[in-house]
Structure 1
Amino acid sequence: MNATTQPSAAERPQSAPVLNIANALTVLRLILVPVFIYLMLLEGHGPRLAALVVFVGAAITDQLDGQLARSRNLVTDFGKIADPIADKALTMTAFILLSLEGSLWWWVTIAIIVRELGITVLRFFMLRRAVMAASRGGKLKTVLQIAGLVGLLVPWGALPWQGLAQGLMTLAYVIIGAALVVTVVTGLDYVRQALALSRRAPGRD
């Protein structure tokens, strides 16, 4: 009887190995950040276009590694920590570099960085009570940030159709504005959730 009720070795849950394709993509994204910085600091349309390619490639790995981890049961503690670090390192670096070159107002960059770092710390401390999963607004925030950054990273000056280029650049700033609004609103919502969780379980560790 006991033999039939015991789960077989194949049925027992197994932890995913740290060395897997999802974590490899996360590490690759971290490696691409200094490459992106180096290319952004070079002058000329060529390096700028290369920096854009690196940024888009790194952004794609952000979507791909999460899908692979969930679909192939490759979720690890390393991935849970490294993935958001790599994600924020990429976007915050792009915001800072764009502000340094004068393409983006510093107050926008500072507001977004303060929100991102603040909510990351908040979610870390709230782990003792509950996991604050990413909301739909948070995912929309990421999409808008990436889209706006891509629009500002494009070397529009290299295009022969400057009228069209100017229009697309204006669209990129509009997207950045929308990203800023969603970033702040979702940040306030995370704070609201944290306060509600704290009141619901006041004495727990």
Structure 2
Amino acid sequence: VPVFLYFLFSDFSHGKLLALIVFIAASITDAYDGIIARKYNIESQFGVYFDPLADKLLVLSAFYGFMFLPVLTTTVKLWMIILISFRDILVTLMRMLMQYKGVT
């Protein structure tokens, strides 16, 4: 997330492109690490609980970052981001609670 945000707000010529590449790479590696962990039965409690939070942090940081980009300030509104953030956090917390209770 810090590398993505650094490139997103950097002033050099290819900063936005590098931010996009970092975001895509993080998303792809996130998808594959879960698949590999399940395939080889190497899931950890840490990964089960914190992987969804890391996913939300990446996506929400992108939304909040877009809100401050001059090109998108008229398109991306704060109320939209707050609504999406609330929904994502609520769903993640409910999912974690269900996993904790053994309901999957």
Q: Smaller-chain TM-score range?
A: 0.7 to 0.9
Unmatched runs of 5 consecutive residues or more in structure 1: 1-32, 133-205
Q: Return the alpha-carbon distance in structure 1 between the equivalents of residues 99 and 54 of structure 2.
A: 20
**Superposed, which structure 2 residues align to 1:1-205 within 5 Å?**
33-101=1-69, 102=73, 103-127=75-99, 129-132=101-104
The 3 A distance-change label for structure 1 pair 35 and 128 is closer
1:117 deviates by: 0.8
Letter of the structure 2 residue corresponding to residue 105 of structure 1: K
Using the size of structure 2 for normalisation, the TM-score is: 0.84
- Give the structure with higher Rg (CA): 1
Q: Return the alpha-carbon distance in structure 2 between the equivalents of residues 128 and 34 of structure 1.
A: 29
1:77 deviates by: 0.6
Aligned residues: 100
CA RMSD of aligned residues (A): 1.7
**Secondary structure of residue in 1 paired with 2:61:** helix
Unmatched runs of 5 consecutive residues or more in structure 2: none
Structure 1 segments of 4 or more deviating over 6 A? none
1:81 deviates by: 1.7
1:41 deviates by: 1.2
On the 8 A contact 2:53/2:92 being kept in 1, the answer is no
On the 8 A contact 1:37/1:93 being kept in 2, the answer is yes
Percent identity among equivalent residues? 37
**Secondary structure of residue in 1 paired with 2:14:** helix
